[in-house]
Amino acid sequence: MTGIITRRALVAGAASGAGLLLSGCDKLAENETFRGILYQADDAHRVLQTALTPRSALATEFRPDQMSPIFRANGTLNPGGAVYGQHVAEKFANWRLDVSGLVNTPMKLSLAQLRAMPQRTQITRHDCVEGWSAIGKWHGAMLGDIMKAAGIKSSARYVIFHCADLYNGKNYYESLDMFDVFHPQTILAWQMNDALVTVPHGAPLRLRAERHLGYKQAKYVMGVEAVATLGNHGLGQGGYWEDNVDYDTYAGI
């Protein structure tokens, strides 16, 4: 694969990029706390990106005529298994999104309930670490609204996305920090290109966090869990690929 961003690469990039950044920021350069944070790999990525573009900025959105004729489905194309197979057979009528963790009101939401919430539609570009991109249209409930409805606690710092697909016997998972959980372009999409999300593209629900690389866009989302730390999930790096291939936890673009 090409274009993979790893923590090691980010540290090297931060070392060269920090000089350019700090040359115009003398006060920051004199701040030892800032400099310490800058050279921690994932924090370096976050600090360098936000120095150029505020995290509140929206990812570019496109016109319908700019949508890609083909939007590639990659990774797992069908999780399989008895439980997921039953959901597919029932057209997800009995599927529920499990909202758990550091929330006041744990919930199990049906697709009908998710569709009744305020929705957002966005046409955005998916950038894969393998070197390809595609523009598609996504429609779904804003994750921030879901977490507000559950009464997310102030002690929560991240949301973990639990998924149906398996890689080497391990359930796929991803994560976002709280800022990106409440970013307006972070949605749980149940429609893609004006149709229901298909199984190869992550039915019934796919995360779209448009300020991030493709591997953060978790498919087959079964549950969202508010947590205080990433350390209790997988190997503690915030996602399957982050744990196993040293991908960057933040993965912002």
Tokens of 201: 């593209």
What's the pLDDT tens digit per position in 59-86? 999 999 999 999 999 999 999 999 999 9
Q: Where are the beta strands (DSSP E) in 3-132?
A: 97-101, 107-109, 119-127
Is the predicted pLDDT of residue 177 greater than 90, yes or no? yes
Helix count and strand count (H, E) for the chain: 9, 10
Residue 55 pLDDT: 60
Whose tokens are 């629900």? That residue is 205
Entry pTM: 0.80
Is the Cβ–Cβ distance between 96 and 147 less than 8 Å? no
Residue 83 pLDDT: 95
| 141-146 mean pLDDT | 98
HSE-CB at 55 with a 13 A cutoff on CA atoms is 19
What's the pLDDT tens digit per position in 84-111? 999 999 999 999 999 999 999 999 999 9
| 157-162 mean pLDDT | 98
Residue 137 pLDDT: 98
Query: What gap in Å lies between CA 221 and CA 239, rounded to an integer?
Result: 13
pLDDT level of residue 253 (50, 70, 90 thresholds): confident
| 169-182 mean pLDDT | 94
Whole-angstrom CA distances from 94 to 90, 100, 140 are 7, 18, 19
